[in-house]
Structure 1
Amino acid sequence: MKLKATVLGVVLLAILSGCSDPVQDDLLNYINEEMQPLAVLEEEAIAEYDSVTGNNYVDDMTTYVHIEEVVIPLYRDFIDQLEAVDPKTSEVQELHENYIAAVNLQESAMIKILAAIDQQDYDMVAEANNMLAAGRAGIRSFTNELEILADEHNVEMTE
């Protein structure tokens, strides 16, 4: 049930390299201006989730209340702001939509965890864990594709 931060938590800066093109300009804006501020929200929500799951699990009620009252509202705020980001080029738009799909899947998994706790359904917990894994895979794919696109358009990504 572990969540991971995306490239937002790792990539803090993209540096212009070479001549400018529309995708390059869009990537620079996307990474440096649009996404960087969202990293804080994402990291906070994930830290709150991790604080009541895995090795930090205390009991079902503590986990349920914390996810419902703290984690999901934080993650929903992150998603709302993420969905407001509007890349200008189709290349960056496609990447962004894939990222949105992955984080929405993770949010759905968190909601399923609540239902699983409420119903004491261990099969549902397994389903939620599979959804979290699929969300993480989607985020890894987004990160890889972002790095490829950045490389293709001479944008150096640094931590």
Structure 2
Amino acid sequence: MKLGRVLFGVICLCLAAVLPACGEDPVQEDILTYMDELEPLITLEEQIVYEFESVTGVNSVDDWTTYIHIEDVVIPLYLDFIDRLEEITPATREVRDIHEIYIEGSNLQYNAFLKILSAIEYGSYDMIGESNQMLAEARALMRNYVSEFGHLADEHGVEFE
């Protein structure tokens, strides 16, 4: 359940300096605007990943500690993140379609967090397996998002350093 690696790609992509090509291109302008709107969420996403990883995997102390931390810290932060992510409304269909991939992956990850809580509550190894599968699917969506966004940026002359 290593969320950091996938999200690290998104974070690096979003924090990169943007060098636009010359000319008027509404998609290019929308990409740049989108990056500006997304940037404040990067720190929040990093915090969420840190908080989640602080009580899971090798950092897990016990089920109860994990449950309480996810319920009291991770879930509220992630709800705020998703709300703010969904407030972003790109102007062009191209950017909007890619942004929807990010929203879909984030919602799936959120539901995986909820499933983890249920798994701990019921002591269900099957539910842990289901939540791990959901997290894997969310990571795949995030990789797709990064890839599609990179392709769109390239097509419209936006370079990332």
**Scaled by the length of structure 1, what TM-score is found?**
0.95
Secondary structure of the equivalent of 2:42? helix
**Match of residue 15, structure 1, among 13, 16, 19:** 19
**Match of residue 25, structure 1, among 29, 36, 48:** 29
**Other-structure match for 1:2:** 2
Q: Matched residues in 1 for 2:39 and 2:9: separation?
A: 9
**Other-structure match for 1:80:** 83
**Other-structure match for 1:112:** 115
AA in 2 matched with 1:119: Y
Please report how far the alpha carbon of residue 9 of structure 1 lies from its aligned counterpart in structure 2 after TM superposition: 1.5
Q: Which runs of 5+ in 2 are unaligned?
A: none
Whichever structure has more helix as a proportion of its residues is 2
Secondary structure of the equivalent of 2:18? strand
Q: Equivalences for 1:111-150 in 2 at 5 Å?
A: 111-150=114-153
**Scaled by the length of structure 2, what TM-score is found?**
0.94
Q: Matched residues in 1 for 2:96 and 2:143: separation?
A: 17
**Other-structure match for 1:156:** 159
Q: Is the 8 A contact 1:26 1:92 kept in 2?
A: yes
Please report how far the alpha carbon of residue 14 of structure 1 lies from its aligned counterpart in structure 2 after TM superposition: 2.1
**Other-structure match for 1:46:** 49
Alignment: residue pair count: 157
Q: Pick closer, same or farther for the CA change 1:6–1:101 going to 2, 3 Å.
A: farther
Please report how far the alpha carbon of residue 18 of structure 1 lies from its aligned counterpart in structure 2 after TM superposition: 2.6
Please report how far the alpha carbon of residue 7 of structure 1 lies from its aligned counterpart in structure 2 after TM superposition: 4.3
Q: Matched residues in 1 for 2:143 and 2:22: separation?
A: 27
- Regions of 4+ moved over 4 Å: none
Q: Percent of aligned positions with the same letter in both sequences? A: 51
Q: Is the 8 A contact 1:27 1:150 kept in 2?
A: yes
Secondary structure of the equivalent of 1:156? strand
